[in-house]
Amino acid sequence: MVMTEPVESADAEACGEKPESSPLSPLFTGEGTRRLHLYLVSDATGETLSSVAKAALSQFPDVAAVQHVSFMARSRNQIERALDMAASTGGLILFTLVNIELRNAMEEGALARHVPVINVLDPIIQNLAAYLGTPARPMPGRQHALDADYFRRIEAMNFTLAQDDGQNPQGLMEADVILLGVSRTSKTPTAVYLANRGIKTANVPVVPGLPLPEILFELTGPLIVGLTTSPERLVQIRRHRMLLLGQNETTDYIDLEAINRELTEARRLFVKQGWPVIDVSRRSIEETSAAILNLYYDRLNLM
């Protein structure tokens, strides 16, 4: 569990507990769960830092983290405030400070207050500089500059939303990736995730009794991927969908045998056309997208 609040709104009394004697020890909430006051401090948007913190905390399910954020921190006062708060709550600071003066203020202040701090990017930057044989040129927020990649992602997202669920078949020739699959096989969320990576992604439903757009069989540019899942998993998803819509009648849409036939026919089509197939049964959207990106970039390298 993670709760987030700005550093400016948090104080020791608001936390409702006093820290233990050692500032290195997280607070206990009882029943084996530990509460950690985690301070995220960045002189940029904090997007990188938040992602790292989220990934790291997911490895500690018995820790209830209370996150206090201070992003776009460009003054020494903001650094001092975060340090004071961490000292008062026995918290830990994760930071990404490209500005050398702010970084020194953080490290010196942490040493004086006995506050544990972790510079998230420093090991990566140091090792990269050593490998490249050239020093880094620090600039806060450089990775978020409005560059060609940013506009490529915007273009990809607009394309993907316009090509959702088989809309505008003639636009398929402009796609980087085309996802095929029966209903409820995560086509749309996967397409949106890929679009956010700058990949123009269309998705086309495979519906029993309805032909696919003829243009699909003529395309040579886009990577076409078939998504499939287990019949049992698909039954659960579709039944849940029907309940949300307030429908409880029995149809082939939620019949296990009919779904099994539907998936089998779709897979046969994918294999016949030589389209790679990805089973999403046990994959998150991120994992499915990563598999597709691997196929996409491998294909680009061969072209």
Q: How far is CA 87 from CA 7, 21, 38, 81, 115, in A?
A: 13, 11, 11, 10, 6
Q: Could you tell me if 94 and 39 are in contact, meaning their C-beta atoms sit under 8 angstroms apart?
A: yes
Q: Could you tell me if 254 and 239 are in contact, meaning their C-beta atoms sit under 8 angstroms apart?
A: yes
Q: Is 288 annotated as a binding-site member?
A: no
**pTM attached to this predicted model:** 0.61
The β-bridge partners of 118 are 94
Q: Is 183 annotated as a binding-site member?
A: yes
Q: Is 181 annotated as a binding-site member?
A: yes
Return the structure tokens found at 110: 């942490």
Per DSSP bridges, beta strands 33-42 and 27-30 are antiparallel
Q: Which residues contact 101 (CB under 8 A, 6 or more apart)?
A: 76
Residues 30-45 have pLDDT tens digits of 556 789 999 999 998 8
Mind listing the pLDDT tens digit of every residue in the chain (303 residues)? 556 656 654 443 333 333 333 444 455 555 567 899 999 999 988 888 998 998 899 899 899 999 999 998 999 999 999 999 999 999 999 999 988 899 999 999 999 999 999 999 888 888 888 999 998 877 666 655 556 777 888 899 999 999 999 999 999 999 999 999 999 999 999 999 999 999 999 999 999 999 999 999 999 999 999 999 999 999 999 999 898 888 877 889 999 999 999 999 999 999 999 999 999 999 999 999 999 999 999 988 776
Ordered alpha helix ranges (H), the chain: 47-57, 76-89, 100-113, 122-132, 148-162, 187-195, 231-244, 256-273, 285-302
**Cα separation, 85 vs 11, whole angstroms:** 6
Q: Is 185 annotated as a binding-site member?
A: yes
Calculate helix-pair angle for 187-195, 285-302, nearest 10 degrees.
60
Query: 49: helix, coil or strand?
Result: helix
Q: Is 18 annotated as a binding-site member?
A: no
Calculate helix-pair angle for 256-273, 231-244, nearest 10 degrees.
120
**Cα separation, 150 vs 56, whole angstroms:** 27
**Cα separation, 159 vs 200, whole angstroms:** 6
Return the structure tokens found at 53: 């913190």
Q: How far is CA 298 from CA 207, 224, 292, in A?
A: 30, 13, 10
Query: 265: helix, coil or strand?
Result: helix
Residues 91-125 have pLDDT tens digits of 999 999 988 899 999 999 999 999 999 999 888 88
Q: Is 209 annotated as a binding-site member?
A: no
**Cα separation, 280 vs 286, whole angstroms:** 11
What amino acid is encoded at 238 in this protein?
R
Q: Could you tell me if 97 and 103 are in contact, meaning their C-beta atoms sit under 8 angstroms apart?
A: yes
User: For 19, which DSSP code?
Assistant: P
CA end-to-end distance (rounded Å), the chain: 45
- Ramachandran bin of 94, using left for φ above 0, alpha for ψ from -120 to 50, beta for the remaining angles: beta
Q: Is 186 annotated as a binding-site member?
A: yes
Question: Which domains, from first to last, does the chain contain?
Answer: 2-132 (3.40.50.2300), 148-302 (3.40.50)
Q: Could you tell me if 182 and 266 are in contact, meaning their C-beta atoms sit under 8 angstroms apart?
A: yes
Q: How far is CA 249 from CA 232, 235, 252, 261, in A?
A: 18, 14, 10, 20
Per-residue confidence (pLDDT) for residue 190, from 0 to 100: 97
Per-residue confidence (pLDDT) for residue 20, from 0 to 100: 39
Q: Is 201 annotated as a binding-site member?
A: no
